[in-house]
Structure 1
Amino acid sequence: MSAWEVRLSSSKGLPYFFNTETKQSSWDPPPNLSEEQVRQLPGAKEYLGKPPPVKPSQVRASHLLVKHRGSRRPSSWKEENITRTKEEAIEILRGYQAQIDGSPAKFAELASLHSDCSSHSNGGDLGWFGRGQMQKPFEDAAYGLEVGKISDVISSDSGVHLVLRTG
């Protein structure tokens, strides 16, 4: 009996092959199985042969957040009590924007050092998310960008952000 099964990738929405004994995974069918054996694997009927989704239901983005005293939670990993005004936060973010100058690498570097979000430890990466999972202004910005592009200053209940669409 084969230890292989077909599963669905939560990040890509595509089927993949997983060996329950070795924990090995692969996008390609196991080479030692015939086409008929692959069709008999657990999960094959549910996940193989379905067309991929027409439009992306999820996007991936990073952000650099600067909170201000009007933010929903005016504290962060670097500052217990944030007292700056929204205008001061925007001014700080504009300075970062000038340094980034469209560079995703510089964006990640500055997000790691300066973002008021816990995602700073991942260069600002928030991972994949769908509609309704983020605050509306942030969601609209992320979905409205092309992959690799950076937004202008976005304001949400969390503070002011620059958003980089990564997927």
Structure 2
Amino acid sequence: MGRDSKSKDSGGKGKGKQAAASDENASKGKAKGGKSSDGLGTCTYVKARHILCEKQGKINEAYKKLQDGWLSNGDKVPPAEFAKVATEYSECPSGKKGGDLGWFPRGKMAGPFQDVAFNTLVGATSAPFKSTHGYHIILCEGRKN
């Protein structure tokens, strides 16, 4: 964003610099307090579960099971149900705990895993994606600063 765009009149009477800044933040998807309007914000910790499979076919099977049960109806997958699928399909040691990774800070997980974990809404399940460790599905259970 250029310098000129910040100095433009915000178009409404009675709006000061603060209101103009709020308008700018809203156009970037941010609400008051630096949190984005989609709830992702700038949190520093995420609580997540995941399913990890070496083969794409196996992660697609797990995702289909989640889709058939909840996602195809637009429902969110309950953590206990996600845990059952993780126990059945995940090849990660966390699979024995239902895929539970607990709380982890930004910077702890590598590349695409971190990106997906910190950009998935609370209660939502990611689509399958590939990382250096294999194929994952993530369920975001919480976020905090």
Tell me the TM-score range normalised by the shorter chain: 0.5 to 0.7
Give the Å deviation of 1:92. Answer: 2.4
Where structure 1 has 5 or more consecutive residues not aligned to the other structure, the ranges are 1-53, 69-85
| Amino acid paired to 1:63 | H
Partner in structure 1 of residue 63 of structure 2: 94
Alignment of 1:52-91 (within 5 A): 55-68=42-55, 86=56, 88-91=57-60
Higher relative contact order (CA 8 A, sep 6+): 2
TM superposition outliers: structure 1 runs of 4+ over 6 Å: none
CA–CA distance in structure 2, aligned partners of residues 90 and 164 of structure 1: 14
From 125, 130, 136, the equivalent of 2:105 is: 130
Give the Å deviation of 1:121. Answer: 1.6
CA-based RMSD: 1.9
Greater helix proportion: 2
> Which of the pair has more CA radius of gyration?
1
From 132, 140, 144, the equivalent of 1:165 is: 140
SS in 1 for 2:101: strand
Give the Å deviation of 1:95. Answer: 2.4
Partner in structure 1 of residue 128 of structure 2: 153
Work out the number of aligned pairs and report it.
96
CA–CA distance in structure 1, aligned partners of residues 98 and 125 of structure 2: 14
CA–CA distance in structure 1, aligned partners of residues 90 and 102 of structure 2: 16
CA–CA distance in structure 1, aligned partners of residues 68 and 89 of structure 2: 13
| Amino acid paired to 2:89 | H
Q: 1:117 to 1:90 in 2, by over 3 A?
A: closer
Q: 1:99 to 1:59 in 2, by over 3 A?
A: same
| Amino acid paired to 1:158 | H
TM-score between both structures, scaled by the size of structure 2: 0.59
| Amino acid paired to 1:57 | T
SS in 2 for 1:166: strand
Partner in structure 1 of residue 26 of structure 2: none
Partner in structure 2 of residue 82 of structure 1: none
Q: 1:99 to 1:107 in 2, by over 3 A?
A: farther
CA–CA distance in structure 1, aligned partners of residues 77 and 48 of structure 2: 14
Give the Å deviation of 1:65. Answer: 1.0
